[in-house]
Structure 1
Amino acid sequence: MLNRLQTIVALGYPVLVGLSRKSLIGEVLGRDVSQRLAGSLALAVLAAERGASIIRVHDVAETVDAIKLCEAVAREQMRQD
């Protein structure tokens, strides 16, 4: 879904993404559910970057921090360009 998220977002409807702790993360990283925070954060950041309106997560504070940091880096990059 993440690969086509921008196409879905372009339709103009709000898009909710829920990838937190999913089995995909466990399969790719070989992690148990309790060890999937890093993967969940990475996917949440990608979803936000690609235009998701709402991101359902288990670890709210950590996800907010990760997205804020990525947005700050993107803003700084835009200022430098």
Structure 2
Amino acid sequence: MEKQPAFATLVQEIQDLEYKAQEEPLDILFERLQPKIQHALFQTSPDRREDLEQEIRIKLMEITRNYQWKESPEIDRLLEH
């Protein structure tokens, strides 16, 4: 079984690529998050699931492309609390 890249590595790879080249890594991201997406979808009515899944994917793309690594607290700072 091929080892998958860490989630943070995948997000950073997506950000480093040009917009058009982000499709394949985004597909990998969606594939890895599919169980969580499906879990969220089953909490709503069947007739709304398709629209909700599309909205979730759009939001994930926005978050992934715009995540600011420098604004995140350092691990040492998180462990202090």
TM-score with structure 1 setting the length: 0.34
Select the structure that is richer in strand.
1
Q: Which is higher, the Rg of structure 1 or of structure 2?
A: 2
TM-score with structure 2 setting the length: 0.34
